[in-house]
Amino acid sequence: MNGNVDALGGLVDAGLVAGAIDRPTGKGGINAAEVAGAHHECANCGQHLTGNYCANCGQQAHVHRSLAHVGEEFVHGITHFDGKTWKTLPMLLFRPGRLTREYIEGKRARYIAPVPLFLLVVFLMFFVFSFVHVKPGGGATDVNGKQLSQAEAIVELPKVNTELANLDRDIAAAKSKGAGAGELAALNGVRTGVVAARDRLKARADGEIASPMDFPGEMTRQIEETYKSGTIDVNLGNATLDARARAALSNPQLALYKVQGKIYKFSFLLVPLSLPWLWLMFAFRRNVRMYDHAVFALYSISFMSLLFILGSIALTLDITNGMFFGLLIFVAPALHWYAQLKGTYSLSRFGAAWRTVAISFAAVMTLAIYLSIALALGLTG
Q: Where are the domains of the chain?
A: 150-249, 251-380
User: Residue 241 CA to chain centroid, in angstroms?
Assistant: 30
Number of other CB atoms surrounding residue 65 within 10 Å = 5
Q: Which 8-state DSSP code applies to residue 189?
A: H
Closest to 222 (Cα-Cα) out of 166, 167, 154 = 154
d(CA 348, CA 351): 5
d(CA 375, CA 159): 40
d(CA 80, CA 59): 16
Closest to 122 (Cα-Cα) out of 329, 330, 365, 297 = 297
| Long-range CB pairs of 311-314, under 8 A, 24+ apart, other chains included | 312/125, 312/128, 312/129, 312/132, 313/128
Low-confidence ranges of the chain (pLDDT < 70): 1-39, 63-83, 130-150, 181-182, 204-232, 234, 236, 249, 380-381
Counting every residue written for the chain, the total comes to 381
d(CA 129, CA 154): 31
**What is the model's pLDDT at position 36?**
47
**What is the model's pLDDT at position 9?**
54
- The reported pTM is 0.64
Task: Provide, for the chain, the percentages of residues in helix, strand and coil under a 3-state DSSP scheme, each rounded to the nearest 5.
Answer: 70, 0, 30
Are 13 and 123 within 8 A, CB to CB?
A: yes
**What is the model's pLDDT at position 26?**
45
CA distances, 194 to each of 139, 142, 158, 168, 179 (Å): 14, 13, 12, 11, 21
**What is the model's pLDDT at position 225?**
64
Which three-class secondary structure state does DSSP give residue 53? strand
Are 52 and 30 within 8 A, CB to CB?
A: yes
CA distances, 31 to each of 27, 61, 70 (Å): 10, 8, 19
N- to C-terminal Cα separation, the chain:
24
**What is the model's pLDDT at position 54?**
83
d(CA 309, CA 247): 32
**What is the model's pLDDT at position 37?**
47
Q: Which 8-state DSSP code applies to residue 147?
A: B
What value, to the nearest 5°, has the Cα angle with vertex 89 and ends 85 and 93? 180
* pLDDT tens-place string over residues 96-143: 999 999 999 998 888 888 988 998 888 888 778 766 655 444 444 444
DSSP string, 245-264: HHHHHH-HHHHHHHHHHHHH
Which three-class secondary structure state does DSSP give residue 48? strand
Instruction: List 141's β-bridge partners, or say none.
Output: 147
Are 325 and 308 within 8 A, CB to CB?
A: no
Closest to 319 (Cα-Cα) out of 6, 254, 328 = 328
Are 22 and 15 within 8 A, CB to CB?
A: no
Cβ neighbors of 291 (< 8 A, separation 6 or more) are: 104
